[in-house]
Amino acid sequence: MIAGSEIPRRGAMALVVAGVARILRSRESETSAPSSLPLRIAISETMVTDVNLSDARAAMQTWIKRMQVDLDVTIQIDPKIFSTSEEVVRGIRTGQLDAAALNLVEYRPIADLFDSRDLLVGGGASGPDEYVVLTRKNSPFKRLPDLRGCRLSVLKAPKMCVAPGWLATLLDDERLGPAETFFSSILSETKVSRVVLPVFFAQVDGCLTSKRGFQIMCELNPQVARSLAVIANSPLLVTCFYAFRKKYPRNARARFLEVHNSLLSSPTGRQLATLFQFDEMNVGDAECLAPGLAILDRAERARGNNAPGRKGPFL
């Protein structure tokens, strides 16, 4: 269950592949007969937008088979690899899954079913990110209220799952109403360049994107940095991660960081890292999710206040 796009998509796929590999290795350390204790895992399809699902499934199946042979472990995963949000929720609720890779929006309504002490989250380039609203420096749009009736482009990517909620809180703070009525149009794109460059070329008035994606755009084209300004910046957010059901043995997770280091020292691990461009995976707890969950809570209240005529999330 993983969604992605351009740079954000690589980060999401990195989380999936590195997470599967580390889970497999941790299961190996838990028992001398790991094949008798298969790990049941689901990967949310929300982690893989703007990617050929057939290709992604084939790659994941190949790597899972290699891991099972190399590490002598058994993993149970749906043959189609990526599951719907509904399938993930149902599997966790019924105890048919041990772990899931999912986003914060999916996690929130079933958080009480997971052990919040050990979450597997990305670090480095695949780690937490921020959202930014950008406009042109030479435009009249200096604050969010200035964008009333304007055109907004929005990045659609796995890690942008909290972006609609964050924007809803910004608009509510200014008493500007829901995004669907505040802006004249909202266009979603799955590539950072297709979100940022239309602002640069004055084809749209502003955009909502990932801060890391914007920084990379600026590195590639310094003119973008000179021409665009950040008028709103979110907190640092963890939005995609692995979570384990309650009562899942903790000793199966205790060596995650050590396992990651050993994974990258193996031929299979290096091939995984090269193919999916992941660098770090870290163990965190529910505290790292607090900023994102707080935004989603506030957004729910804001949308309740604006319920009449509400059209729903735009991402």
Kindly state whether residue 71 falls inside one of the protein's structural domains. Answer: yes
184 in the same domain as 104: no
232 in the same domain as 144: yes
Residue written as token pair 């607090």: 290
- pLDDT at residue 146, as a whole number: 98
248 in the same domain as 108: yes
112 in the same domain as 81: yes
- Whether the model pTM is above 0.75: yes
Which CATH number fits the domain that encloses residue 211? 3.40.190.10
Q: What are the E-state strand segments in 60-139?
A: 75-76, 82-83, 99-103, 114-123, 131-136
115 in the same domain as 64: yes
Residues 12-51 as b/e (b if ≥16 CB within 10 A, e otherwise) read bbbbbbbbbbbbbbbbbbbeeebeeeebbbbbbbbbbbbb
- pLDDT at residue 33, as a whole number: 37
92 neighbors 32 (Cβ within 8 angstroms): no
DSSP tag of 193: H
Cα 157 from chain centre: 7
Query: 3-state DSSP call for residue 19?
Result: helix
Kindly state whether residue 298 falls inside one of the protein's structural domains. Answer: no
Q: Which of 124, 156, 130, 160 is nearest to 277 (CA)?
A: 124
Q: Which long-range contacts (CB under 8 A, 24 or more apart) does 110-114 make?
A: 111/286, 111/293, 113/245, 113/246, 114/243, 114/244, 114/245, 114/246
**CA atoms of 181 and 186, how far apart (whole Å):** 10
Q: What is the largest CA-CA distance in the chain?
A: 66
**CA atoms of 115 and 95, how far apart (whole Å):** 13
122 in the same domain as 136: no
Q: What angle do CA 182, 183, 187 make, to 5 degrees?
A: 145
**CA atoms of 297 and 165, how far apart (whole Å):** 9
| pLDDT tens digit at each of 315 positions of the chain | 333 344 455 555 555 555 555 555 554 444 433 434 567 888 888 877 666 667 666 766 766 676 666 555 666 676 666 788 899 888 888 888 888 888 999 999 999 999 988 888 877 766 789 999 999 999 999 999 999 999 999 999 889 999 999 999 999 999 999 999 999 999 999 999 999 999 999 999 999 999 999 999 999 999 999 999 999 999 999 998 888 888 877 766 554 445 555 555 666 556 555 545 455 677 788 899 999 999 999 999 998 766 544 444 445
Q: How many domains are there within the chain?
A: 2
How is 31-50 classified by DSSP, letter by letter?
Answer: -S-GGGS-EEEEEETTB-TT
- pLDDT at residue 274, as a whole number: 53
182 in the same domain as 103: no
The amino acid present at 188, given as its one-letter code, is S
- pLDDT at residue 239, as a whole number: 93
136 in the same domain as 119: no
- Alpha carbon separation from 152 to 28, 48, 64, 199, 299 (Å, rounded): 48, 23, 40, 9, 19
- Can you read off the two tokens belonging to residue 58? 């084939």
Kindly state whether residue 308 falls inside one of the protein's structural domains. Answer: no
**CA atoms of 204 and 77, how far apart (whole Å):** 43
Q: Which domain holds residue 201?
A: 131-236
- pLDDT at residue 34, as a whole number: 41
